Amino acid sequence: MSAVALVVAAGRGERLGSSGPKAFVMCGGRSMLEWSIDALKAVPEIVHIVVATPPGIEAPAGTTGVFGGDERSHSVRAALHHTLAGDPVLVHDAARPLVTPEIIRAVLAGLDGEADAAIAAARVADTIKQDDGGDAAPTVARTLDRAGLWAIQTPQVFRREVLERALAQPHEVVAAATDDASLVETMGGTVRLVECPRENFKVTTPEDLRLADLLLRRR
Ligand code: C5P
| pLDDT tens, residue order, the chain (219 aa) | 899 999 999 998 888 988 889 999 999 999 999 999 999 999 999 999 999 999 999 999 999 999 999 999 999 999 999 997 899 999 999 999 999 999 999 999 999 999 999 999 999 999 999 999 988 899 999 999 999 999 999 999 999 999 999 999 999 999 999 999 999 999 999 999 999 999 999 999 999 999 999 999 999
What pLDDT score does 32 carry? 97
| Best mutation site among 93, 152, 201 for ligand 1 pocket (most ligand atoms within 8 Å of CB) | 93
| Side chain identity at residue 133, one-letter code | G
**Count of the separate structural domains present in the chain:** 1
Cα dihedral 197→24→92→58 (10° resolution): -150
Provide φ and ψ at 106, rounded to 5°: -65, -40
Nearest to 89 by CA among 7, 34, 151: 7
What pLDDT score does 20 carry? 87
Give the domain extent around 22. Answer: 3-217
- Helix (H) / strand (E) element for 175: namely helix 171-176
- Check: CB of residue 129 under 8 Å from CB of residue 142: yes
Q: Is 186 helix (H, G, I), strand (E, B) or coil?
A: helix
Nearest to 119 by CA among 139, 96, 143, 140: 96
- Helix (H) / strand (E) element for 217: namely helix 206-217
Atom of ligand 1 nearest to the CA of 8: 20
> What's 45's domain CATH number?
3.90.550.10
Answer whether 0.85 is exceeded by the pTM. yes
Identify the residue whose C-alpha is closest to ligand 1 atom 5.
11
| Best mutation site among 8, 50, 51, 182 for ligand 1 pocket (most ligand atoms within 8 Å of CB) | 8
What pLDDT score does 83 carry? 92
Atom of ligand 1 nearest to the CA of 93: 10
Atom of ligand 1 nearest to the CA of 94: 10
Nearest to 219 by CA among 92, 35, 31: 35
